[in-house]
């Protein structure tokens, strides 16, 4: 889907307004939009609303083998998803330029600044370390995705708790959250990025551009800083030429903004910690605004089940009984699938080699998902042993190759062997002259 094109009149008006120091929503040049930080039910899930831009970050961890050149350090992995929900211009799966840019900037901002103590993530040196994965999803794009993403990522990292690990000699036990309280990550400092957009070849600048301002801007300067006034990353894109004083001025503005945002962030973390300690439910149902007419909540309700058994009995009795007697059904033996009836070829292609390969996979990774058709056929097969059952394995073909991972039989005539539920794959190759 394409985004609505920008009309000339809109562009001219926006530039004229910026020259007069006026912004679309009435902000001042250095003002941020209203920011709101909320947390989810589990540790490590954080939502950031920057005006109408909405972003969600989730932190998760798992034990992996470390990199060879850094056996003592944990691994940090960042991923920014430009979800198609955020804007009609974002497409699923396509690694667009914007996505690459945002990912790179977030990595530089958080990983290269060494804000997380990766050595504390080491469990067994050289063998097992924690891999911390941060996924940031864009939910609504109204400008300045980078700042919102960086705030969400660092807040989620501060909020996250990893499972406690106990080492006794050679044995490593990972305790579940019920056994031992999970512990927070050790974070040295909180880098936050501040974006400046430049217009008219660097003459005018705006902090926190909204989506329309982003469309008419010439270039973008992103400064990632922490509250100790240390610059973690600085990037200028768009090809604008900035003077030294401009960059210095921007860094001063950034330090002011970063301290404000860090304060807001810490306050939000504090409130959340307090709420969790009090034991109140921190789910989403609570955080939903009740006063809005677009929101509604309903409490736990019960469903009446009084006449359910009678209805069910009725339905089962009324439906036709499955056909028990079928004359000469063509039934595939368990472990074998088939396309077509296996009888007369009606395609009109004669004298040609036909190759039909079927695969029948009747297992899932974790659970057993039984295909009801196979069940029925097994029932039919059992019930109609007295009928004239044509089993596919017993066929007119010369060359029947059935491959079983457990029993590698090349040319069996009789394939009564039951296939295992997990991971059984049977393929049948049929060649007809």
Task: Give least dist CB 334 to another protein, A.
Answer: 16
- Give the nearer residue to another protein in terms of CB position, either 37 or 254: 37
Binder among 304, 320, 352, 386 for another protein (CB under 8 A): 304
8-state DSSP, 67? P
Structure tokens at 20: 């007069």
Structure tokens at 1: 């889907």
Q: Does 126 bind another protein (CB under 8 A)?
A: no
Q: Does 369 bind another protein (CB under 8 A)?
A: yes
**CB contact at 8 A, 421 and 368:** yes
Measure the CA–CA gap between 368 and 419, rounded to whole angstroms.
Answer: 14
Binder among 168, 178, 244, 316 for another protein (CB under 8 A): 316
Q: Does 85 bind another protein (CB under 8 A)?
A: yes
- Give the nearer residue to another protein in terms of CB position, either 353 or 365: 365
Q: Does 276 bind another protein (CB under 8 A)?
A: no
Q: Does 142 bind another protein (CB under 8 A)?
A: yes
- Give the nearer residue to another protein in terms of CB position, either 130 or 262: 130
Task: Give least dist CB 261 to another protein, A.
Answer: 22
Q: Does 294 bind another protein (CB under 8 A)?
A: yes
Q: Does 279 bind another protein (CB under 8 A)?
A: no
- Give the nearer residue to another protein in terms of CB position, either 40 or 219: 40
Site string for another protein, 55-74 (x = CB under 8 A): -x-x-x--------------
Structure tokens at 410: 């090349």
Q: Does 12 bind another protein (CB under 8 A)?
A: yes
Structure tokens at 65: 């083998």
Q: Does 299 bind another protein (CB under 8 A)?
A: yes
- Give the nearer residue to another protein in terms of CB position, either 287 or 407: 287
- Give the nearer residue to another protein in terms of CB position, either 277 or 318: 318
Distances (CA, A) of 203 to 22, 143, 210, 218, 243: 15, 21, 18, 10, 10
Please list every residue from 90 through 109 that binds another protein, using CB under 8 A: 92
Stretch touching another protein by CB under 8 A, among 22-30, 110-118, 144-152, 219-227: 22-30
β-strand pairing of 53-64 with 128-140 = antiparallel
Q: Does 200 bind another protein (CB under 8 A)?
A: no
- Given the structure tokens 């005018």, which residue do they identify? 204
Q: Does 291 bind another protein (CB under 8 A)?
A: no
- Give the nearer residue to another protein in terms of CB position, either 139 or 242: 139
Distances (CA, A) of 355 to 347, 371, 405, 428: 14, 26, 22, 10
**CB contact at 8 A, 90 and 96:** yes
Measure the CA–CA gap between 262 and 248, rounded to whole angstroms.
Answer: 21
Stretch touching another protein by CB under 8 A, among 28-36, 133-141, 328-336, 389-397: 133-141
- Given the structure tokens 């969790």, which residue do they identify? 276
Task: Give least dist CB 259 to another protein, A.
Answer: 29
Q: By CB neighbour count within 10 A (0-12 exposed, 13-18 middle, 19+ buried), where does 71 fall? A: middle
**CB contact at 8 A, 131 and 202:** no
Q: Does 1 bind another protein (CB under 8 A)?
A: yes
Task: Give least dist CB 54 to another protein, A.
Answer: 7
**CB contact at 8 A, 73 and 126:** no
**CB contact at 8 A, 159 and 272:** yes
Binder among 35, 86, 154, 333 for another protein (CB under 8 A): 86
Task: Give least dist CB 344 to another protein, A.
Answer: 33
CA atoms within 13 A on the CB side of 425: 7
Measure the CA–CA gap between 185 and 72, rounded to whole angstroms.
Answer: 16
Structure tokens at 311: 């209805």
- Determine the straight-line distance between the first and last CA of the chain, rounded to whole angstroms: 50
Measure the CA–CA gap between 155 and 186, rounded to whole angstroms.
Answer: 13
- Give the nearer residue to another protein in terms of CB position, either 71 or 182: 182
Please list every residue from 371 through 410 that binds another protein, using CB under 8 A: none
């Amino acid at each position: 889907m394409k985004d609505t094109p920008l009309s000339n009149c809109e562009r001219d008006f926006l530039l004229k307004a910026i020259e007069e120091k006026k912004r679309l929503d009435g902000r001042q040049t250095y003002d941020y939009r209203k920011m709101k930080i909320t947390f989810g039910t589990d540790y490590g899930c954080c939502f950031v609303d920057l005006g109408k831009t909405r972003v969600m970050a989730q932190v998760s961890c798992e034990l992996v083998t470390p990199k060879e050149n850094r056996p003592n350090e944990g691994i940090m992995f960042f991923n920014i998803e430009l979800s198609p929900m955020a804007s009609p211009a974002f497409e699923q799966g396509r690694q667009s330029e914007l996505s690459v840019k945002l990912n790179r900037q977030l990595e530089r901002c958080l990983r290269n600044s060494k804000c997380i103590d990766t050595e504390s993530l080491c469990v067994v040196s050289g063998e097992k370390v924690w891999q911390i994965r941060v996924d940031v999803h864009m939910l609504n794009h109204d400008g300045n995705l980078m700042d919102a993403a960086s705030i969400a990522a660092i807040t989620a990292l501060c909020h996250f708790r990893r499972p406690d690990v106990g080492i006794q000699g050679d044995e490593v036990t990972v305790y579940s959250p019920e056994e031992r309280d999970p512990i927070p990550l050790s974070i040295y400092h909180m880098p936050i990025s501040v974006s400046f957009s430049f217009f008219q070849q660097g003459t005018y600048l705006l902090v926190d551009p909204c989506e329309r301002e982003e469309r008419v801007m010439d270039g973008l300067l992103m400064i990632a800083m922490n509250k100790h006034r240390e610059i973690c990353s600085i990037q200028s894109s768009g090809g604008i030429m900035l003077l030294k004083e401009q960059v210095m001025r921007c860094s001063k503005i950034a330090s002011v903004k970063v301290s404000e945002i860090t304060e807001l962030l810490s306050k939000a973390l504090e409130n959340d910690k307090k709420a969790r300690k009090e034991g109140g439910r921190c789910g989403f149902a609570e955080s939903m605004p009740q006063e809005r007419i677009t929101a509604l909540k309903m409490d736990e309700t019960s469903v009446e089940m009084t006449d359910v058994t009678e209805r069910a009995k009725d339905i089962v009795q009324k439906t036709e009984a499955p056909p028990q007697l079928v004359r000469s059904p063509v039934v595939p033996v368990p472990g074998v699938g088939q396309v077509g009836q296996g009888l007369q070829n009606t395609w009109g292609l004669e004298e040609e080699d036909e190759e039909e390969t079927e695969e029948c996979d009747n297992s899932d990774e974790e659970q057993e998902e039984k295909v009801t058709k196979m069940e029925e056929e097994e029932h039919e097969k059992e019930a109609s042993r007295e009928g004239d059952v044509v089993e596919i394995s017993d066929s007119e073909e010369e060359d029947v190759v059935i491959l079983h991972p457990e029993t590698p039989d090349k040319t069996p005539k009789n394939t009564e062997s039951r296939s295992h539920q997990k991971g059984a794959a049977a393929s049948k190759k049929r060649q007809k002259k």
